[in-house]
Amino acid sequence: MLDLLFNWRAYSPLDVVFILLSYAMIILIALPVHELAHAFAADRMGDPTARWNGRLTLNPLAHLDVVGTLMILFFRFGYAKPVPVNPRNFREYKKGMIITSVAGPLSNLALSLASLAILRLLLFVPSPPLFSHLATILLWNFAQVNIFLAIFNLMPVPPLDGYRIISNFIPPRWAYSIERYQLFITIGFIVLVLGGRFGYIIQFIANPIFKLFLFITGLG
């Protein structure tokens, strides 16, 4: 989205509309699917907390976070409201935490791969060049941002999914210290993101994954 904001002359008005539409799809589809995946996994592992709190749904209003949504618009990665989880309800604590935490990022990777597969199928269908061009903008950007979301949420920083995963493997005293200063760590992390440098890290990790998906779908 930063490319759109600062290099907008490179895009036609119709291109801009479809780029914005891809971000609307991220906000209204990808984020709810991500959080639903967390809620569904937790529910299956024995914790009904998310279901009781109305998070076992695709309704965007149940999941969206204002700051996380704005980050997606400006930085191409962000977050939604964390799904409430009570690990004490899991039948197996560590297994439940890991599966629940990884379910969200995996759902984004699945959406990315699916959007590229749909794009590949559309390219088989004879259509006007303008339709192919706009479909490529829409689905290509949707695929990329979903990968960015998956990687961002796997960062080992509270309250992101990556921290929920590694917290099962680090010494309890480390986890206690991190959670004690979670607010300051989170603020520092957001400041780092807003500084603009973090996007290069996401891009560096995302590129090989995107190329792999392009190869799998025959678009590479």
Mean pLDDT of the chain: 87
pLDDT of residue 44: 96
pLDDT tens digits, one per residue of 11-27: 777 888 888 888 889 99
- Closest by CA position to 134, among listed 113, 119, 156, 153: 119
Residue type, 47: D
Give ∠ CA 60-81-21 in degrees, rounded to 5. Answer: 40
Sequence spans of domains, the chain:
2-217
pLDDT of residue 106: 97
Q: Are 74 and 6 in contact (CB under 8 A)?
A: no
User: Residue 4 pLDDT more than 70?
Assistant: no
pLDDT of residue 198: 76
pLDDT of residue 192: 79
Position with higher pLDDT, 77 vs 23? 23
Catalytic residues: 35
User: Residue 173 pLDDT more than 70?
Assistant: yes
Q: Are 104 and 145 in contact (CB under 8 A)?
A: no
User: Residue 199 pLDDT more than 60?
Assistant: yes
Distances (CA, A) of 14 to 5, 6, 79, 133, 134: 15, 17, 28, 10, 8
User: Residue 204 pLDDT more than 50?
Assistant: yes
User: Residue 2 pLDDT more than 50?
Assistant: no
Q: How many residues does the chain have?
A: 220
Task: Give start and end residues of each alpha helix (H) in 79-128.
Answer: 93-124
pLDDT of residue 120: 94
* Stretch 170-179: mean pLDDT: 85
